[in-house]
Chains A and B, each alone.
Chain A
Amino acid sequence: MDIKSSVIKKNTRQPNLFAEIFKGFFKEKIVFLLLFLIFITALAVVQVTHASRQELILQDQLLQQRDDLDLQWRYLLVEQEFYAQHVRIEEIAKTKLQMKRPQSKDEQVVILP
C-alpha cells in the first residue's frame, strides 16, 4: 500500500500510470528478463531469417552461375574439339608446317639399360 500511495500525485488521488508500470517491471525481475529475452530473440529471428534469405539468394545466383559456366564450358569444349580434329591438325602439319611422318630410317631407338 505504501508504494502505491507514494506514486499518487500529491494533490490528487489519481496514480501516475507510466511510473506505476515502470515500477512494476522492476518488481517482477524474472518476468522483465524474459520479456527482454523475447525482444532479443524476436530481433534475432528477424535477423537470421534475413541472413538466410541473403544466403539463399546467393546460393541461387551461384547455382545459376554454375549452370551458365557449364553451358559456356560445353560450347568451348565443342569449339576446342573442332580445332583439335585429327584431320585438321594433320592437314596443317603437312601443308603449313611441311611436317611428315617419320619413317623407320629416320628413327633412332634408344634402349635404356
Chain B
Amino acid sequence: MRNVQRKKIKSNFHRGRFIIVCFCISAVFIGLAARAAYIQIIKPDLAINESNKRTLRVKKLHVQRGMIFDRSGKELAVSVPVVSVYVDPKALNEGLVAKVLKQAKKQGENAKLLAKNELLLAKRVKEHYQQDIRWQELADVLRVKQNKIDRRLVGDPTKRFIYLQRQITPAVADYIKRLKLPGIYLIDESKRYYPAGEVTAHVLGFTDIDGKGIEGMEKLFNKALTGTDGRRTYRKDAQGREVEILDERERVEPESINLSIDQRIQAIAYKALKSAVLSYKATSGSAMVVDVKTGEILAMVNSPSFNPNNLSNAMPHKRRNRAITDLFEPGSTVKPLAILAGLEYGTINDNEIVNTSPGYMRMGGSMVRDPRNNGKMTLRQIIQKSSNMGVAKITKEVPKDFVVGLYEKVGFGEDTGTNMIGETSGLFTPRRRWSDFEIATLSFGYALAISTAQLARFYATLGSGGISRPLTILKQDEPMHGERIMAQKNVHAVLEMMESVFEKGGTAPNVKLDGYRVAAKTGTSKKAIAGGYGDEYVNYFAGVGPVSDPRLSIVVMVNEPSGDEYYGATTTGPAFSEIMSGALRILNVAPDLNTVAMTKIGADHG
C-alpha cells in the first residue's frame, strides 16, 4: 500500500521540465566554465595585463658616480643627486584640453560641440593656462622669466620632450611635484661637485652634464667611477607599498679613486703659483710636488685655472693641464745632469776645476757664452753661477752617446707614467746624429723640450739618490718600482753643490728658505719662435729638500712673465720656497737647517 501511495506522489514529476531545468543549469555552469577557461587558458594575457597595470611597478635604483679622494681621504669630487624637470608639451596640451572640457560640462555647455570647435577651444585653453597661477609659480621657482617658459610649455604642442631646467635641488623638485601640473615630469640625475674648486680642477677634470667623464681623472677612470643602475620589479598593494618583489637586479656600486694628491699641499702650491703668475703678469704657470721616496705626485697645479663647478667661464686655455701637456726648453735646470754625466762617466771628479776662460767658446760655427768671464771654476761654482761654459766643457769630454743616453734614462722623451689624459712625452729624439754644438746646448737645457712633470721626475730621481721612478697620481701602498740609473755618491755630491744656489753669489741669493736645507736650480730659458729665439722667457725653479734626507721634489714654472723681471729666481723663487717649507712642515719633516733650535730629550745633558 505504501508503495502505491509513493508512486502517486511521484506522479507530478514532469520529465520535460526536469530536462529543461537540467539543461539550463548545466548551460549556466558550462558557460561559466567556458568563460573562465577562455580568460584563464585561451586568452590569459588580457587579465594578466590588467592586473599588472594596477599592481606591477618597475623602480630604477639609481647609483651615484664614485667619489674621488685625496691621499688622506678628503673628498675631492662628490656626486650629489639632483633633479631635472622636463615638459611633454603634447601631454600638457591634452591635460589642459581635458580640464577646459570638464569645466564647460560643469557649466552646462555642450562639451562635444566645444571639442569640435578648434578655434574656440584653443582660446579657452589659452585663457585657462593664463589664469592658472601654478604656471607662474613654476616659472618663479625655476627662476625663469614667464614669457620665456611659456614658449617652451605651450609653444608647440606637437613636441614631446623639452628640458625646462637641469640639475635643480631636490627641495625645488619636491615643490614642483606638489604643484601637480599636467605634462611636467621630473627625472633623477646627479651632479658632480668639486669642493676644492679651481685648486684641483686640472687634475680631476670634469664630467659632462650627463655624468660622463670627459677630462682628467674623471675621463681616465670613467669606467671604474661609473656604476650600473639596478632595477626592481615589484607588486604594490592599494596603498602603494611594495608587497612582492618579482625581479631584482642589484645595482653595481662604483669604485672610488684615491689620488696621491695631498689636498693641503695642493692648496699651498696653488696659492703660491697663482700669486707668482699674477704678480709677474705671466701667461701661465705650473707647479708640481713629488714625493721622491715613492714617486707619488703630491700636488699638481696650473694657473690660470677654472671653476669645475661652473664651466661657463672655462675657456679651453684655462682647462689645459699644463703641467703635463705643455712643453718648454728646461734651460739651466738640467745643468746638474750635465755635471752628473761627467761624474758618471768618470772624466771629472768632485774636486774638478774647469777653466771657463775667456767666457766664450766657438763650437762648430756657433758660440757658447757666459754673461761674463768666470775664469777657473769648481763644479760647485758652475752650478752656483749657472755657467754655460762650464757644463759645455764638461760634456765635451764625455762621449755623445753617453750624454744623450743619460738624458734619455732620466725620462726626457718618455711619459712620466701617470697615464693622465693629454700627457706628452716631450720633444727629445735621442737616436739621431748630434753635433758638438747640440750636445753643448743640451748641457744647458736647449735642443730638447720637456713638460713640468718630466722635470719634476728628473728632480725626484736626484732626490732619491739616483733611482728613477715612474710618477703616479694614485695613492700607493708601496713605493713605485724604481731603477738605479746614477751612482748615489755622485748624486749626493751634486745635490750639495746645488745648495750653493741660495748662497751669496748664487743665482737665487734672495730666496729665503725657512728651516730646511734645499738643493735647487733656477732656470731662465728663452722661448723658441719660428726662426730662432724670441723675447719671451720661461722661468723655472726646481729643487729637492731637505738635503739631509730628501723627501720632496718641487718644480715651479712660470711662462712668459711680462713685468720687468724675467729671471727664474725672482719670479718663481718665492713660490718655490713657500711651497717647499709649507709642504715639508705639513708632512712633519724635521727641519735640518741649523737655525732651528733643537732640544734632545733623554740625552744626558740634563
Residues of A near B75 (CB, < 8 A) are 77, 81
A87:B78 contact, CB within 8 angstroms: no
Q: Answer whether residue A108 sits at the interface, using C-beta atoms and an 8 A cutoff.
A: yes
User: Does B193 make an interface contact (CB < 8 A)?
Assistant: yes
Whether A110 and B599, one on each chain, are in contact in the complex, defined by CB atoms closer than 8 angstroms, is yes
Q: Which of B263-271, B461-469, B477-485 contacts A (4 or more CB under 8 A)?
A: B263-271
Tell me the B40-58 residues at the A interface (CB within 8 Å). Answer: none
**Which residues of the other chain, B, contact A112 by a CB distance below 8 angstroms?**
601-602
Per-position contact with A for B460-503: 1 when CB-CB < 8 Å, else 0?
00000000000000000000000000000000000000000000
Residues facing A in B238-261 (CB within 8 A) are: 241-245
Shortest beta-carbon distance from B174 to chain A in Å: 12
Please, which residue of chain B has its CB at the minimum distance from the CB of A111? B600
Asked if A92 lies at the interface with its beta carbon under 8 angstroms from chain B, I say: no
Determine if B603 is an interface residue (Cβ-Cβ < 8 Å): yes
Residues of B572-606 at the interface with A, using a CB-CB cut-off of 8 Å, are 582, 585, 590-591, 593, 595-603
Cross-chain contact of B195 among A70, A81, A108 (Cβ < 8 A): A81
A60: B residues at CB distance < 8 A: 241-242
Contacts of A84 in B (CB 8 A): 195
By a CB distance below 8 angstroms, the chain A residues around B31 are none
Which of A24-32, A34-42, A99-107 is near enough to bind chain B?
A99-107
Q: From A78, A101, A105, A109, give the contact of B80 (CB < 8 A).
A: A78
DSSP majority for the A interface?
Answer: helix
Q: A74, B591: Cβ atoms under 8 Å? A: no
Contact of A104 among B64, B245, B515 (CB under 8 A): B515
With the chains together, A105 CA to B598 CA distance in Å?
Answer: 11
Q: Which residues of B contact A107 (CB under 8 A)?
A: 515, 591, 596-597
A82 in the interface (beta carbon within 8 A): yes
Of listed A74, A85, A101, A113, residue having the most chain B CB within 10 A: A74
Contact call B243/A81, Cβ cutoff below 8 A: no
Chain A residues with CB under 8 Å of B350's CB are none
Chain A: CB-nearest residue to B514: A104
Kindly state the separation between the CA atoms of A109 and B546 in the bound complex, as whole angstroms. 15
A112–B64 Cα distance when bound, in Å, is 48
Residues of A with C-beta under 8 A to B599: 108-111
CB of A94 within 8 A of chain B? no
Assembly CA distance A92 to B65 (angstroms) = 33
A57 CB within 8 Å of chain B = yes
Of chain A, the residue at the smallest CB distance from B309 is A78
In the complex, are the beta carbons of B78 and A81 less than 8 A apart?
yes
B241 pairs with A111, CB closer than 8 A: no
Task: Tell me the bound Cα distance from A51 to B275 in angstroms.
Answer: 67
Tell me, yes or no, whether A9 is within 8 Å of chain B by CB: no
Query: Cβ of A56 and Cβ of B245 under 8 Å apart?
Result: yes
Per the 8 Å Cβ criterion, residues 49-79 of A in contact with B are: 53, 56-57, 59-60, 70-71, 74-75, 77-78
Residue A96 lies at the interface, judged by CB distance under 8 Å to chain B? no
Of chain A, the residue at the smallest CB distance from B515 is A104
A85 touches B79 (CB 8 A): no
Check A4 for interface membership: any CB of B closer than 8 A.
no
A86 to B244, CA, bound (A): 50
A108–B264 CA distance with the chains assembled, in angstroms: 23
Given known A71-B170, A86-B264, contact A109–B242 (CB-CB < 8 A) = no
A111 — which chain B residues lie within 8 A by C-beta?
Answer: 590, 598-601
Among B193, B264, B591, the residue within 8 A (CB) of A109 is B591
Tell me the complex Cα distance, A107–B601, Å.
16
Total chain A interface residues with beta-carbon distance under 8 A: 29
- Is residue B81 contacting chain A, with contact meaning CB distance below 8 A? yes
CB proximity of A84 to chain B, nearest CB, Å: 8
Partner of B601, one of A82, A101, A113: A113
Whether A57 lies near B601 (C-beta < 8 A) is no
- B241, A57: Cβ atoms closer than 8 Å: yes
Q: Does B196 contact A (CB under 8 A)?
A: yes
Q: Could you tell me the distance between the alpha carbons of A59 and B595 in the complex, rounded to whole angstroms?
A: 65
| Closest B residue, CB atoms, query A57 | B241
Residues from chain B with Cβ under 8 Å of A77 in the complex: 75, 78
Pairwise interchain contact B243-A56, C-beta atoms closer than 8 A: yes
* Given A104-B514, A111-B598, A113-B601, CB of A87 within 8 Å of CB of B267: yes
User: How far is B268's CA from A60's CA once the two chains are assembled, in angstroms?
Assistant: 47
Q: What residues of chain B lie closer than 8 Å to A103, measured between beta carbons? A: 514-515
Residue B556 is within 8 A (CB to CB) of chain A in the complex: no
Provide the residues of chain A in CB contact with B602, threshold 8 Å. 112-113
Whether A74 pairs with B80 at a CB distance below 8 angstroms is yes
Q: Judge if B450 is at the interface, Cβ distance under 8 Å.
A: no
Query: How many angstroms between the C-alpha atoms of A101 and B193 in the bound complex?
Result: 30
**Contact, CB under 8 Å: A74 / B64:** yes
- Roughly how many angstroms separate A81 CA and B74 CA in the complex, as a whole number? 9
A78, B196: Cβ atoms under 8 Å? no
How long is the Cα–Cα vector from A63 to B79 in the complex, in angstroms?
A: 19
Chain A residues within 8 Å of B244, by CB: 53, 56
| Among candidates A53, A70, A74, A110, residue contacting B243 with C-beta atoms closer than 8 Å | A53
Residues of B close to A101: CB separation below 8 A: 582
Asked whether, in the complex, the Cβ of B81 is within 8 Å of the Cβ of A57, the reply is: no
Residues of A within 8 A of B593 (CB): 104
- The complex places the Cα of A59 from the Cα of B268 at a distance, in Å, of 47
B264 touches A74 (CB 8 A): no
CB distance A57 to B242 under 8 Å?
yes
Q: Are A87 and B79 in contact (CB under 8 A)?
A: no
Q: How far is the CB of B261 from chain A (nearest CB, A)?
A: 13
In the assembled complex, B199 has its CB within 8 A of some CB on chain A: yes
**Chain B residues near A105 (CB-CB < 8 A):** 595-596
**Could you show 17 A-B contacts with beta carbons less than 8 Å apart?**
A53-B243, A53-B244, A56-B243, A56-B244, A71-B80, A71-B170, A78-B195, A85-B195, A86-B264, A103-B514, A103-B515, A104-B515, A104-B595, A107-B515, A109-B591, A110-B600, A111-B601
Closest 4 CB pairs of A and B: A81-B195, A104-B515, A113-B602, A86-B267
Given contacts A53-B244, A60-B241, 10 further A-B contacts (CB under 8 A): A70-B64, A71-B81, A103-B515, A104-B515, A104-B593, A107-B596, A108-B597, A109-B596, A110-B601, A111-B601
